[in-house]
Structure 1
Amino acid sequence: MRLMLAKLALGPLLIWQGRHVRATALRLPEAAGERSRPGGRLRLLIVGDSSAAGVGAAHQDEALAGRLAQALEKRRAEPVGWQLVATSGHGTAQALTQLESAELAPADVLVTALGVNDVVDQVPPQRAMAALAALDALARRRAGVRLSLHCAAPPMQAFPLLPQPLRWFFGRQAARFNAVLAASVAGQPQRCVVHLPQAMQHDAAALMAADGFHPGPPGYALWAEVLADLIERGLEREGAVS
């Protein structure tokens, strides 16, 4: 209720700030490099928005997909295969549409990095969760995914690019998105929510790229380490991959 009242009271200012940010923000490209690599017994499918696509890193080796594969390879002492299906600007519904038309390789683990654009575009969280559930089901049916890690929306209240009160408003909306996300996967042990590392939540600005909106290479490396630990534990629990 408080958030709705704030939206009504601050509406014109929030709209103006949002348009100004879109018009003046530094636009960085998606990370260069291949979007899939063959590997060994463990195979990843990474789906998402600009953060999954590696905006803020020069090459996929420094972005989420590459760093996650490297982190898992160190733990497993064997190659890890991965496929990346991600596009800047995508919300959950757009990511689902892209995945529906993609040629998918077999995968054991799905990692999704979505939510920021749903928050920015004011998509009702329940609608985003319906698209996420369909995306998860599609990945299981077509790629054989057995374990899904859904990354929570980041702490948008700490994004240097965003002015106040837009920063506060998006931060509250991101927290609401995450609460609905957690509720939507409750009771499903093969699906879990992954929050960003504490360092990225408490010192987000220091780990961001020059645009003040996306992780830089150090941020992607920290994020990948958290995901790698959870993947190993999840696979061990599920007995999904030896």
Structure 2
Amino acid sequence: MIWPRLQQVALAPVLGVQALQVVRRTPRLPEAQGPRNGITGQGPELRLLILGDSSAAGVGVATQSDALSGHLVRALGAEYRVSWTLIAQTGWTTGRLREVVRHTAPEPFDIAVTALGVNDTTRLIGPHRWLEHTGELHDLIRARFSVRRIYATTVPPLEHFRALPRPLNAVLGGHAARLRSALEDMAAAAEGLRLIAPDWGLDPALMAADGFHPGPEIYRGWGAFAGQLILDDLRAEPL
């Protein structure tokens, strides 16, 4: 872990300039419009909580129907009556969401899906601290919402984000990989924690206009992948 930190320090002047340029040049896209809770499908009841950052909030598409929430809920609704709620906002880190959850009124859910890590990456939050925040967040989700299974989406490969120039993309991509590896280790050792690790692809043509967020096809693939993973688990081991 010493070399990545030295690399960040050595490149700090260049990275700082590039980061400011990215902020100035990248259009700020709105969060997806539409309901952030509802009931969909038929069958046994499944209570779903979706939490996260701008990607969970659907930045990059116009409506929640075309965002992660819409595709995931429709996939699960093929076999369940899904009662769902979305708690997400642009800019949230894992630590910030932890504090939001701490002050959110308790409500029972069966499954939680999280989408976090990009803002932790851009802030260069270290793997140890990130795992600490993640563990605390998961404990709160279980305590306040009675969640029995948590599905954590892996951190996407930032080196492929079209909005990020070199060497900023390489540094952030490397940092994202370290957070991703740390989360994989956590999931391997934690009961009731599964990873959602889609084949991101991140074809520039499929990303949103800002080059930083998913476009409609990426959200569709992500939601379908997560939904199938959860359905397979529920078939093998019902709640």
TM-score, normalised via structure 1 length: 0.92
Shift of 1:3: 2.0
- SS of the equivalent of 2:189 reads coil
RMSD: 1.5
Shift of 1:139: 1.6
How many pairs align?
A: 235
Query: Does the CA-based 8 Å contact 1:47-1:112 persist in structure 2?
Result: yes
Match of 1:193 among 178, 182, 195: 195
Confirm whether residue 13 of structure 1 aligns to residue 17 of structure 2. Answer: no
- SS of the equivalent of 1:149 reads strand
1:154-201 C-alpha deviation (Å, 9 max, x unpaired): 110000000000011111000000111111222224102222x32x23
Q: 1:130 to 1:97 in 2, by over 3 A?
A: same
What letter corresponds to residue 14 of structure 1 in structure 2?
Answer: L
Supply the distance in 2 between the matched residues of 1:234 and 1:9 (Cα, whole angstroms). 45
Aligned to 1:57: 61
Confirm whether residue 2 of structure 1 aligns to residue 6 of structure 2. Answer: no
Uncovered stretches (5+) of structure 1, i.e. residues with no partner: none
What letter corresponds to residue 11 of structure 1 in structure 2?
Answer: A
Percent sequence identity is 39
1:36-83 C-alpha deviation (Å, 9 max, x unpaired): 113560111111000001000111111111110011112x1x431111
What letter corresponds to residue 48 of structure 1 in structure 2?
Answer: G
Match of 1:46 among 17, 35, 50: 50
Match of 2:101 among 99, 102, 125: 99
Supply the distance in 1 between the matched residues of 2:45 and 2:23 (Cα, whole angstroms). 42
Match of 1:131 among 130, 133, 142: 133
Shift of 1:104: 4.3
What letter corresponds to residue 43 of structure 1 in structure 2?
Answer: R
- SS of the equivalent of 1:186 reads helix
Query: Does the CA-based 8 Å contact 1:85-1:98 persist in structure 2?
Result: no
